[in-house]
Amino acid sequence: MNIFEKFIINENQSIDILLPDVEDRTNSWYRSTQNLHKFDFISAALKQENISVVIVTEVAEEMFISLADRLEYVLAKKEELPDQIRIGEVGYRYHVDSRIEHEKSIDDYCKFTVWSGGFSEPRFHTWLYKKNNTIYFEISPEYPWLSTDPTEEEKLDIYISFDQFMKTYKPILVVEIDKAIAQKWLDSCRRILDDLEKGHIALLEQLDTRKKRFIEALEQHEIDLKGGEVNYSDLDIAFDQPVGRQLLSINDGDGAVITYKDDNHPEHVVEIIADTKLAAKNIFNVSVAKYNNWDWPIFTKNTADIQELFVIVQEAINCVLCSRADGDIQ
């Protein structure tokens, strides 16, 4: 894990935003690249002296939006924590109230919530609120079965009752946040969100360019899609270059998708995927699936030759046309 950003609380404590290496990173929209993308999954960890505890794993954009929204609220609004809830007891009261009236509690407490659970285990709630015109940052554990029942396996292994959990319940952090620090955090969030959006726009433009190049390549090879539509391509191909230089760069999983869909026939998809892991040369796998059934493709073939790739693409399209002629009618 690499530290992408550090939100300093004081000289001994910070919230570290952790970014996995590219090969270990997950993206909910596209494959991960060297630069952080808005749909990459990242983690936030509480760092205290030499101890680091992951408190949430979430999509990058969502993580920074949630923090920025809450910071804006506490810096701009005068609304404070209700009188009946003491400093450091937001997590505890949330749990108690949730057992009584779950949906209402979520609504009542969401205005104090920065992050809640996400995709990390164990799960924590992160809160940001005002009391006596002072900003407080609280991190508290979440009872794993607050809104769901334990599985049979969990009952045998890790399950503890709610009452047992609450007997030793306490937050892992309750700390005052200076307004200047809160403003600095907000400025950092805004900068990061702006950079993420610019990066996403640049990626969309790159993908649009590569899609146009792929369509031009199909035309150059006199391939008639026969009603198909190129939905997507990130193959980095330059067909104005000599044959040996046409493939500019390739990443594992790069490819293209051609879809055949109308009201009278089952959907067919032609998919081209690059495999760079298992061979010294790049291998292009071309497949056709009917009804999106990739477990049983109706056509599959591969090549390491960029020119032969388009011969196989034509074969795949012919397979689609034959299947549509002989297949089911919607």
> Among 168, 199, 230, which residue terminates a domain?
199
- How much is the pLDDT for 307? 83
Which distant-in-sequence residues (6+ apart) come within 8 Å of 178 by Cβ? 135
In whole angstroms, give the CA distance from residue 76 to residue 222.
Answer: 61
pLDDT at position 187: 98
Per-residue pLDDT tens over the stretch 260-294? 998 888 899 999 998 877 655 668 899 999 999 99
Domain membership flag for residue 152: yes
Are residue 181 and residue 260 in the same domain, yes or no? no
CA distance to 6, 23, 26, 233, 278, per residue, from 29 (Å): 25, 16, 9, 14, 25
77 and 165 co-located in one domain: yes
Instruction: Identify the band that residue 141 occupies on the pLDDT scale cut at 50, 70 and 90.
Output: very high
Q: Is residue 241 part of a domain?
A: yes
For residues 108 and 162, state if they share a domain: yes
Are 181 and 298 members of one domain? no
Sign of CA dihedral 156, 158, 162, 168: positive
- What's the confidence (pLDDT) of residue 330? 44
The predicted model gives 314-325 an average pLDDT of 93
> What's the sign of the alpha-carbon dihedral 319, 322, 326, 328?
positive
The domain tally of the chain equals 2
What is the phi/psi pair of residue 269, to 5°? -130, 130
Domain boundary among 169, 199, 229: 199
What is the spatial distance between Cα 210 and Cα 217, in angstroms, rounded to a whole number?
10
What is the distance between the alpha carbons of residues 309 and 210, in angstroms, rounded to a whole number? 16
Residue at 14 is within a domain: no
Which amino acid makes up residue 261?
A: K
Residue 286, pLDDT score: 96
Residue 312 in domain: yes
Question: Do both 137 and 241 map to the same domain?
Answer: no
Mean of pLDDT values over 83-109:
83
The residue range of the domain holding 193 is 59-199
Q: Are 67 and 168 found together in one domain?
A: yes
* Structural tokens at position 116: 């809640």
Same domain assignment for residues 252 and 302: yes
326 or 64: which leads in pLDDT: 64
Q: Are residue 160 and residue 285 in the same domain, yes or no?
A: no
Phi, psi of 11 (to 5 degrees): -65, -15
Residue 320, helix vs strand vs coil: helix
Residue where a domain stops, chosen among 199, 233, 268:
199
129 plus 228 within the same structural domain: no
Phi-psi sector, 221: left (phi>0), alpha (psi -120 to 50), beta: alpha
What proportion of the chain, given as a percentage, has pLDDT over 90?
A: 66
C-alpha distance from residue 318 to each of 178, 213, 282 (Å): 67, 22, 24
Which residues are within 8 A (CB) of 18 and not within 5 positions of it... i.e. 6 or more apart? 1, 2, 3, 4, 42, 43, 44, 45, 54
| Residue 184, helix vs strand vs coil | helix
Tokens of 58: 């979430």
Q: Rounded to the nearest 5°, which phi and psi values hold at 216?
A: -65, -35
If asked whether residues 194 and 228 sit together in one domain, one would say no
- pLDDT of 18 reads 97
Residue 44 located in a structural domain: no
Peptide bond into 20 cis (omega under 30): no
Whether 102 is covered by a domain: the verdict is yes
The answer to whether residue 47 is domain-embedded is no
3-class state of residue 316 by DSSP: helix
Segments in 158-276 forming alpha helices (H): 162-167, 179-220
Indicate the SS3 state at residue 191: helix
pLDDT at 281: 65
**Token digits for 42?**
């990242």
- Using an 8 Å Cβ cutoff, are 199 and 37 in contact? yes
Give the per-residue pLDDT at 143. Answer: 93
Tell me: do 251 and 167 sit in the same domain: no
pLDDT at position 124:
96
Judge whether residue 329 has pLDDT over 50: no
Q: Are residues 191 and 225 in the same domain?
A: no
- Give the model confidence (pLDDT) of 34-72 as tens digits: 899 999 999 999 999 889 999 999 999 999 999 999 999
Read off the pLDDT of each residue in 283-309 and give the average, rounded to a whole number: 91
- Please write the tens of the pLDDT for every residue from 148-203: 898 999 888 999 999 999 999 999 999 999 999 999 999 999 999 999 999 999 99
pLDDT at 306: 80
- For residue 10, tell me if it sits in a domain: no
What's the average model confidence in pLDDT over 208-231? 91
pLDDT of residue 31: 82
Of 106-115, 121-130, 241-250, 304-313, the range with the highest mean pLDDT is: 121-130
